[in-house]
A and B are shown apart, each in its own frame.
Chain A
Amino acid sequence: MIGESVPMLDSIARVTGALDYMINLRLPNMLFGKIVRSQAPHVELLKVDITNALRVPGVIAILTGEDLGANAFYGVAIKDQGVIAVDRVRYVGEPIAAIAAESVEAAEEAALLIDIEYDELPSVFNAQEAIQAGAPALHDKFPNNIFKHAKLRHGDMDAAFAEADEIFEDTFTSPVAQQASLEPHVSAAQWGGERLTIWTASQAPFMVRKALSEIFEIAPEAVRVIVPPLGGAYGGKGHIRIEPLVAAMARKTNGRPVKFVLSRAEEFVTVTKHAASITLKTGVKRDGTFTARQVAIYWNGGAYADASPLLVPAGMVRSVGPYRIPAVSVDSYGIYTNLPPAGAYRGAMSSQTTWAYESQMDIIARKMGWDPLEFRMKNLFVSGEHFATGEELHDVHFVECLEASAKGLSLTPGPSPFGRGEKWKHGRGYAVMMKSTVATSKSQARLKLMDDGTVTLYTSTVEMGQGGHTTMAQITAESLGIPLSAIKIIGPDTAITPFDSTTSASRSTSMMGNAVIAACGSMKKKLFDLGAPLLETPIDELRTEDGYVVADEMSISFGDILKRNNLDALEESGEYSTSLGIDPETGQGVATPHWHQGAGAAEVEVDIETGRVTILRYSAASFAGRVVNPRMAQLQNDGNVIFGLGPTLMEEIIYDGGQATNPNLADYAIPSIRDIPAELISVCIESDEGGMHGIGEMTLPPVAPALANAIEDAAGVRIKDLPITAEKILRALKEKPEP
């Protein structure tokens, strides 16, 4: 079962349009929700008058800051975000009021009749400007707008830089981008007394449950979170999004459910990718080794801390790179600005950091006259070495990843085999990335075996297109010894499926996979205990196969074991958790249960008359440990590369006074089938000792630097600010001094 490319379990529903996405949900007596949002970036609210709006026929209730209790604030570590604005608004798009009505039309009409008065406050949108003296402070508790400063200190920096023959200092930037799942954020909530049920398109049902139980001051068990399959997420549905507002709205509708579906424009103000400015100072010796690296990262967190207090330290360890560097110092700053709150974006924080360190690798190699591939190979970590956190690295395969991706490129050296004349310049580029997953997290799984031999797996892993449920079914089938067809999956539903931290950071295959394996182990033990007397065989001579407990010459089906013991069902649970972390002052410790490893190699042609880039080949490799489903794994690799082309070549939210000017898919382009490389190669590296690794992000972060490196190889220009547009290339070509 493991290692077989079975199709997704619900494939038929996916091609017939029958899959039950959240957006299809209709509940009896359901109301429609609409959010009234701020049009100014930073204001003191003076008045929110809903009198006229309430008179619109069909309007049932309106939620404003006046309805909120003292605890109506949330955020994973800093509870600075109100369920709805109370007396201050900090970004364009922040909810000021919400309406529940019998129809969308009534809600929209009422939205126009809410009278809002405010005084404008000075605002700041750029993270590095926000930390200057005199910049407007967004939150009283953080007068310099720095809500998180993560530090990594490893080795004697002064001595290490003194040993360097050359020191390179470069700054790389990434703009604000949007996750842009085609299914928007959708939630519906209903209260029954002091019990809340919320249906939501979320990657983190138990985080939602915790936040809602704290906001409404009810027991976690009084909150039921149900998550249907998602129409894409990419980090944008991680952590807490619209659920608090939706639940607060539903609290005013006398038990009637209310559903909110965000518009595409609202998506752009709900969550974004952190803009980042990253400065790397790197010392190298003439022998091609590193002496030191100093990193300063300024993350634009937007108006609320949201998940950034977790992501800023993660971004710190993800900024060093997969190379042997004796002395490392990183300062990673999470900064408030008057933009929408930023959150995880597929390959969270690594997309920005890999862009920086892998671009600089080529800058160094070029200046020093080294081959960029050999320079990387010479310095890449191998198993048993120690990272800048002090932790020992296990099961390290960076070299294989880079070799495998490089192998995919054209074997013909020199000028382009595809050349279309003099104006087309051909080049190659490479990049490698090293990413942590969640250091401390827990997954639980429960199995229920019925006397008809079928098994139900209760899991809170969210199926968001990655094939998580199919993967878990395959792991169950293999571990328990039953056919895939006998397995049904239920979840996530916090009332009936056990705990899971989150479906993110490519952690599920490893974490939930091991919880499922543990549950299967317990179930098998129970079946052996019950089956051994029936088969008159010692337990240690039994095995399972195809739904049977098998002895040498006899076997009995799981269902019959239950029946013969007068049981209609058997339930067993499993758990897998890790409890790791780094010291907040030094960054020393263990940052992750295992490191995510990926590489990419790009072959491009640049039209030096227009700056246009054509990607001839892109070859991607990730370390997968043990591949559960090869074709789905390859699809993850592919998807990462294609997703990564967006922020690399085209995606950027452009703001004017804090207002997004392109919050739609006409002016904010995402990759289409015409943007994909002419040839795309995906490789998953396996290892004997490796456990199952997630691969949901590994080949994404290398895309931007691999392409930038290939573009410099082709056209001799270095772009340091994403996205790499034709305009930027052309400008750089024009500004390039004549040789």
Chain B
Amino acid sequence: MILNVNGNKHEVQAGTRTLLEVLRDDLGLVGTKEGCGVGMCGACTVLVDGKPISGCLILAEQIAGKEIFTVEGLARNGKLHPIQQAFIDERAFQCAYCTPGFILTTVALLNENPNPGDDEIREYLSGNLCRCGSYRNILLAVKRASQTK
């Protein structure tokens, strides 16, 4: 099957494997992580046709033909995406295992709602977990990104 990832088409033998496994093991896109394996933590968040989904819950076969976007697709020509820069500026991570997932969910949020309020941000990001507890700075980063976008 063909997977369309970050604007590039890849021929893969997905079998019954999840999108997460194919991205990591076949395409080497290791920014996407497994945290819980049951769609609760959001470490495996990718965008499919612009919507955040858990890569651990979906088979690669199920999304043939759709546009998949991972954290590796964000920086362009060596320049960070404004949301990535906002996460650095607001120190919105510690171990950063969850960070690609948070950033991609934020991309989707700001596409849908360029100026979200606190409650909207909290609601939208509640499917991404940060065990280090950087949430306050994540809120600040999302707001900063919404202002600089």
Determine whether the beta carbon of A665 is less than 8 Å from that of B80. no
Determine whether the beta carbon of B133 is less than 8 Å from that of A639. yes
Residues 578-593 of A, flagged 1 when their CB comes within 8 A of B and 0 if not, give: 0000000000000000
Quote the shortest CB–CB distance from B79 to chain A (angstroms). Answer: 11
Per the bound structure, the CA–CA distance linking A232 and B41 in Å amounts to 14
Quote the shortest CB–CB distance from A185 to chain B (angstroms). Answer: 13
8 Å CB contacts to B: which residues of A176-202? 180-183
Chain B, Cβ-Cβ closest to A16:
B75
Name the contact of B96 in the complex, choosing from A14, A643, A664 (C-beta under 8 A): A14
8 Å CB contacts to B: which residues of A264-280? 264
Known: A181-B95, A182-B98, A664-B36. A465 touches B122 (CB 8 A): no
Determine whether the beta carbon of A17 is less than 8 Å from that of B31. yes
Determine whether the beta carbon of B137 is less than 8 Å from that of A182. no
Q: Which of A18-26, A59-67, A72-80, A409-417 contacts B (4 or more CB under 8 A)?
A: A18-26
Known: A17-B71, A17-B72. A7 touches B138 (CB 8 A): no
Residues 476-492 of A, flagged 1 when their CB comes within 8 A of B and 0 if not, give: 00000000000000000
Does B38 have its Cβ within 8 Å of any Cβ on chain A? yes
Residues 604-644 of A, flagged 1 when their CB comes within 8 A of B and 0 if not, give: 00000000000000000000000000011001001111110
8 Å CB contacts to A: which residues of B114-147? 121-123, 125-139
Chain A, Cβ-Cβ closest to B119:
A674
Quote the shortest CB–CB distance from B145 to chain A (angstroms). Answer: 12
Determine whether the beta carbon of A24 is less than 8 Å from that of B136. no
Interface residue range, chain A: 35 or more
Known: A232-B131, A467-B94. A16 touches B74 (CB 8 A): yes
Does B50 have its Cβ within 8 Å of any Cβ on chain A? no
8 Å CB contacts to B: which residues of A224-259? 229-234
Does A133 have its Cβ within 8 Å of any Cβ on chain B? no
Residues of chain A contacted by B80 (CB below 8 angstroms): 12, 15-16
Name the contact of A664 in the complex, choosing from B38, B91, B100 (C-beta under 8 A): B38
Chain A, Cβ-Cβ closest to B98:
A182
8 Å CB contacts to B: which residues of A639-694? 639-643, 664-666, 670-674, 676, 680
Quote the shortest CB–CB distance from A105 to chain B (angstroms). Answer: 10
Quote the shortest CB–CB distance from B99 to chain A (angstroms). Answer: 6
Chain B, Cβ-Cβ closest to A179:
B131
Quote the shortest CB–CB distance from B103 to chain A (angstroms). Answer: 6
Determine whether the beta carbon of B129 is less than 8 Å from that of A672. yes
Give the number of A-B contacts (CB < 8 Å).
154
Residues 444-478 of A, flagged 1 when their CB comes within 8 A of B and 0 if not, give: 00000000000000000000111100000000000
Residues of chain A contacted by B89 (CB below 8 angstroms): 7
Determine whether the beta carbon of A642 is less than 8 Å from that of B30. no
Interface of A is mostly: loop
Per the bound structure, the CA–CA distance linking A382 and B15 in Å amounts to 66
Determine whether the beta carbon of A635 is less than 8 Å from that of B94. yes
Residues of chain A contacted by B94 (CB below 8 angstroms): 232, 465-467, 635, 639
Known: A7-B91, A182-B129, A467-B94. A635 touches B31 (CB 8 A): no
Determine whether the beta carbon of A15 is less than 8 Å from that of B87. yes
Determine whether the beta carbon of B41 is less than 8 Å from that of A674. no
Does A71 have its Cβ within 8 Å of any Cβ on chain B? no
Residues of chain B contacted by A17 (CB below 8 angstroms): 29-32, 70-72, 99-100
Per the bound structure, the CA–CA distance linking A16 and B139 in Å amounts to 19
Does A440 have its Cβ within 8 Å of any Cβ on chain B? no
Residues of chain B contacted by A230 (CB below 8 angstroms): 95
Quote the shortest CB–CB distance from A651 to chain B (angstroms). Answer: 11
Chain B, Cβ-Cβ closest to A464:
B95
Determine whether the beta carbon of A23 is less than 8 Å from that of B91. no
Per the bound structure, the CA–CA distance linking A671 and B96 in Å amounts to 16
Known: A16-B72, A17-B100. A674 touches B122 (CB 8 A): yes
Does A11 have its Cβ within 8 Å of any Cβ on chain B? yes
Residues of chain B contacted by A467 (CB below 8 angstroms): 94
Chain A, Cβ-Cβ closest to B24:
A24
Name the contact of A15 in the complex, choosing from B37, B99, B127 (C-beta under 8 A): B99
8 Å CB contacts to B: which residues of A27-75? none
Determine whether the beta carbon of B129 is less than 8 Å from that of A465. no
Residues of chain A contacted by B87 (CB below 8 angstroms): 15
Does B69 have its Cβ within 8 Å of any Cβ on chain A? no
Most chain A CB within a 10 A radius of its CB, from B43, B80, B131: B131
Quote the shortest CB–CB distance from A318 to chain B (angstroms). Answer: 22
Does A263 have its Cβ within 8 Å of any Cβ on chain B? yes
Known: A232-B95, A232-B131. A182 touches B125 (CB 8 A): no
Residues of chain B whose beta carbon lies under 8 Å from any beta carbon of chain A: 29-41, 43, 70-72, 74-75, 80, 84-85, 87-89, 91, 93-100, 103, 121-123, 125-139
Give the 5 A-B residue pairs with the shortest CB-CB distance, closest first. Answer: A17-B31, A465-B95, A642-B133, A231-B97, A639-B133
Apart from A182-B43, A182-B97, A666-B40, what are 7 other A-B pairs with CB-CB below 8 Å?
A: A5-B91, A14-B93, A182-B41, A231-B96, A642-B136, A664-B37, A674-B123
